[in-house]
Chain A
Amino acid sequence: MDDIEKRLPRRDPLPAIGAQRRNLLGGLVGGTTTLIAGRTLAADLHNFPPLPSWSQQLGRPVATNPYGKPSPFEANIIRRLSPGLTTTRESTIAFTPLQNLFGTITPNGLHFERSHGGLPEVDPYQHRLILHGLVKNPKIYTMEDLLRFPAVSRVHFLECGANTGMEWNNVAVPTVQFTHGMLSCAEYTGVLLSTLLEDVGFDRKAAKFVLAEGADAAGLTRTIPLEFALNDAMIVYGQNGEMLRPENGYPVRLFVPGVQGVSSVKWLRRLELGDQPWHTREETMHYADLMPDGKSQQFTWIQEAKSVITSPSGGQRLLDKRGYYQITGLAWSGRGRIKRVDVSTDGGRSWHPAQLQEPITSKALTRFRTDWVWDGVPALLQSRCIDDTGYVQPKLRQLREGRGTRSIYHNNAIQTWRIATDGGVHNVQV
């Protein structure tokens, strides 16, 4: 960090109003700030002598970082743990900083991370995947085998079933990173699971379910219905153009599009076909949705349509007390494409459709944007999506009426951000 401190302090280009405010702060930017016809232009001065150091010194050699990394000024754009959520660092989750991301693709280093028994370092040369059970020809594949199969690349979101689970009862966390950050989207590359199931000659009559098992210490196991396995599930080794990161399942994982993340078993070592579900720990003790009558909805695979405004969002502050802000966010559905996203700035009294960024693809994040001129009075921002099945994202009140507040999973409620008169943005529920 030494070199950063040696550099000139950063001076942001300032809008007119901000410039005056900053000028009032005087000492913070000191003598380099100048008023020119009511606009300042501390940063603009860098375009004239004295030049900033980076314009005068020879930069570092090309490929100083053979594997590139973000600017040191971006060092705070990171995955974070939610304090107090879990007892161990081995069985926990790190959240994607949605508030800082553009577009729809999550950079690999920021993809949310969930492990149940720590992060294994799997040697791809020793790793094997076995397919057996109700199949004609049980087989063992090496990674070389898997990489030779006909591949497909598809952009999909991945969302933990417990995303937004902390907020069923009341507001619990301050930012969109913690309310919605068990969510990422990437271009995944691999083999369709159906290709491998054909390869081992699965029993079309008797086989109804697939058990997927990880090679990690937790040996995480989940039952996948054959309907999903044959539809669009993949055996994935590539993510955004490179091999999976260790924390996302290197060298190979299952990926079940549109289905709660725990089913996309990482560090995949075994697939078994069977005629009944296994009722593993992660589909009975956990990842089953407890209803008010004490019964649990089990095998709740699908992630229903959901959206959230990522900016402005909780923890931010609108510096200009009034003026233009673009409202932007993400929408997704485990059942297909996003058809429409509506935005409200008055807590749901009225709504208007936002623009959707193309391409809009099935079971992938869709970026929405809409213009907003804030008049300085308190506002309640919400987004509500509709998918191509016609399903409309529900209100929290409706979800609670149907499912109570103890179910943990599948909270896809409309999120509300309150804008206070001081520009502060707060996580609230209405």
Chain B
Amino acid sequence: MCKYKCAVLVLLGLALCRTALAAPWQSLGRPATPAEIARWNIDVRPDGMGLPQGQGSVAQGQEIYDSQCASCHGSFGESNEYMALSGGIGSLASASPQRTVGSRLNYATTLWDYINRAMPFQYSKSLTADQVYAVTAYVLHLNDIVTADAVLDPESLARIEMPNRDGFTTAHGFSSLDGKADVENTACLEACETQVALTSELPPEFTAQIYGDIREHFRGLASMNHERSEPLVVTTKGTNSDVTTLLNANGCMACHGIDNAGVGPAFNEVAARYAGDKAAAELLKLKLKQGGAGSWGSVSMPPQSRITDADAATIVDWIVSGMEEN
């Protein structure tokens, strides 16, 4: 009898406890529906979980790659300007390891996931699932991981064995709260080092060449600084704020600096060539929208079809005006 009664009492007690322990803030937030989760959840795991239906071929991928990816990564994924995508397989143990898709990734799903969420750099999340399969296939083909006639879909992508599949280890002390360090020192206080030799120092003049007047990096007050007998005058170069906003919003600055060439020419170089040239303005507007090649070296500029005509005109007028400040 007691067995039964006791069990009831225990259960009742547990139920009461549960009610008492329920957090008073549990009404905050609202349930996420399966449809909402499906829309939000874009990640892909090595086992293929998360890969959407779809497919793409190496040939389809090449077409997309050439128009949207090659300007940064090179025609064959070889350009190290941003990140090399191909080559370097087997180089990781060498003195010059090359970290590429082919040499470093342990799962092909990571490539799909990253292209899908973050590429192309200026227009992330703009590719369809089919396009992502296609570009993934092409980049893997550039690394000789899939053949030229390959077509990737969820099943075939998850099956791909990457060259560096076993190139990672978690046998180290960094991965847990109480992990053990792999390198140890001792807390010696006296007669610790017997020989102290300098092994590396910056070459003279290096700092001035790269950083300019390093005194500017320090507060003038304090006896531990360079002497500065004049108050610091900081000059800020004026730029057209509307144009700067447009350049940033449209990702122009990823390839072109105001004064510094990136992959493309600096704006002041373009301005120097075309300043005051009204005819050039029309040509530049066209090139900006449709892309161009050959004027400034071998790297082509991809079409910027998303820029409105008005914004393109604002940018081009600013360049042709000799980058006037406002």
Binding site for B on A (CB under 8 A): 1, 4-5, 7, 9-10, 12, 15, 18, 22, 25, 28-29, 72-77, 80, 83-84, 87-91, 97, 99-100, 116-118, 130-132, 137-142, 145, 148-150, 170-172, 174-175, 177, 195, 198-199, 211, 213, 217-219, 221, 225, 227-228, 231, 269-270, 272, 274, 276, 278-281, 284-286, 288, 290, 292-302, 304, 311-312, 315-320, 325, 335, 340, 342, 344, 346-352, 380, 384, 386, 391-395, 398-399, 401-403, 406, 410, 414, 418, 426-430
Contact = CB atoms under 8 A, between A and B. Distances in A.
B118 interface: yes
Contacts of B125: 217, 219
Contact of A88 (B42, B93, B221, B254): B254
A89 B253 contact: yes
Nearest to A278: B45
Interface stretch (B138-146, B196-204, B278-286): B196-204
B175 A90 contact: no
Interface stretch (B180-188, B293-301, B310-318): B180-188
Interface residues of B, number: 103
Interface of B: 23, 25-26, 28-32, 36-37, 40-47, 81-82, 92-94, 97, 99, 101, 104-107, 109-110, 113-114, 117-118, 121, 124-125, 167-170, 172-177, 179, 181-194, 196-202, 206-207, 210-211, 214-227, 229-236, 248, 251, 253-254, 262-263
B181 to A, nearest CB: 6
A278 B107 CA distance: 10
B183 A88 contact: no
Residue from B31, B107, B110 having most chain A Cβ neighbours under 10 A: B110
Contact of A319 (B37, B44, B224): B224
A342 B248 CA distance: 47
B124 A148 contact: no
B197 A430 contact: yes
9 contacts: A73-B231, A140-B31, A219-B125, A227-B177, A315-B217, A347-B193, A394-B184, A427-B202, A428-B198
Contacts of A348: 192-193, 196
Nearest to B28: A145
A87 B218 contact: no
Contact of B226 (A10, A284, A317): A317
A315 B225 CA distance: 8
A422 B13 CA distance: 78
Contacts of B181: 304, 391
B225 A316 contact: yes
Nearest to A10: B231
Given A1-B233, A174-B207, A319-B227, A148 B28 contact: yes
Contact of A427 (B44, B201, B220): B201
A428 B220 contact: no
Nearest to A405: B95
Given A90-B254, A139-B30, A300-B174, 10 more contacts: A199-B25, A281-B110, A295-B169, A300-B172, A316-B224, A350-B190, A351-B190, A351-B192, A395-B185, A427-B202
A226 to B, nearest CB: 11
B224 A77 contact: no
A75 B234 contact: yes
Given A318-B224, A348-B193, A394-B185, A84 B210 contact: yes
Contacts of A4: 231, 233
A231 B177 CA distance: 9
Contacts of B187: 340, 342, 384, 386, 392
A350 B227 contact: no
Contacts of A316: 218, 224-226
Contact of A211 (B43, B99, B101): B43
A132 B232 CA distance: 53
A225 B174 CA distance: 12
Given A84-B210, A171-B202, A293-B93, A25 B229 contact: yes
Nearest to A174: B207
A392 B173 CA distance: 15
A342 B185 CA distance: 13
B100 to A, nearest CB: 9
Given A225-B175, A392-B187, A199 B254 contact: no
A256 B210 CA distance: 35
Contact of B232 (A76, A116, A139, A279): A76
A279 B178 CA distance: 22
Contact of A280 (B92, B113, B175): B113
A330 to B, nearest CB: 16
Contacts of A149: 25, 28
Contact of A311 (B179, B184, B224): B224
B198 A418 contact: yes
B202 A221 contact: no
Contacts of B175: 225, 299-302
B43 A139 contact: no
Contacts of A116: 118
B51 to A, nearest CB: 13
B224 A9 contact: no
A270 B43 CA distance: 10
Contacts of B109: 279
Contact of A426 (B31, B124, B201, B221): B201
Contacts of B94: 294
A400 to B, nearest CB: 9
A279 B106 contact: yes
Nearest to A221: B43
Nearest to A334: B174
A280 B179 contact: no
Contacts of B223: 15, 18, 318-320, 325
